[in-house]
Amino acid sequence: MDDKCIMENLLLTTKGVCDLYMHGTIESSTSNVHQVFNQALKDSLCMQDEIYQKMSAKGWYSTEQADSKQIEKVRSQYAKIS
């Protein structure tokens, strides 16, 4: 297993943890539990960002610019709903 694969696995795992903590925050029944989940979520999001930044710097996580016509199409669809 190479470094890129390890980083991809770390990123996917961290994203999954963020999802769990987000649901824990939303569903918590007391302020104390909410606060603990919320802090864990914030910490996990920071970790996810750090992993992404390192992968991006190495060219292991590429993104592409969204087509402006596609953006406008989606914008118009949502404008009709409002």
Extract the tokens encoding 72.
């406008």
Extract the tokens encoding 69.
């016509």
Which helix (H) or strand (E) segment holds residue 29: the answer is none
Per-residue pLDDT of the chain (82 residues; tens, 9 = 90+): 899 999 999 999 999 999 999 999 999 999 999 999 999 999 999 999 999 999 999 999 988 888 999 999 999 988 887 6
The CA distance from 61 to 53, in Å, is 9
Instruction: Burial-class residue 6 by CB neighbours within 10 Å (0-12, 13-18, 19+).
Output: exposed
Are residues 60 and 7 in contact, defined by beta-carbon separation less than 8 angstroms? yes
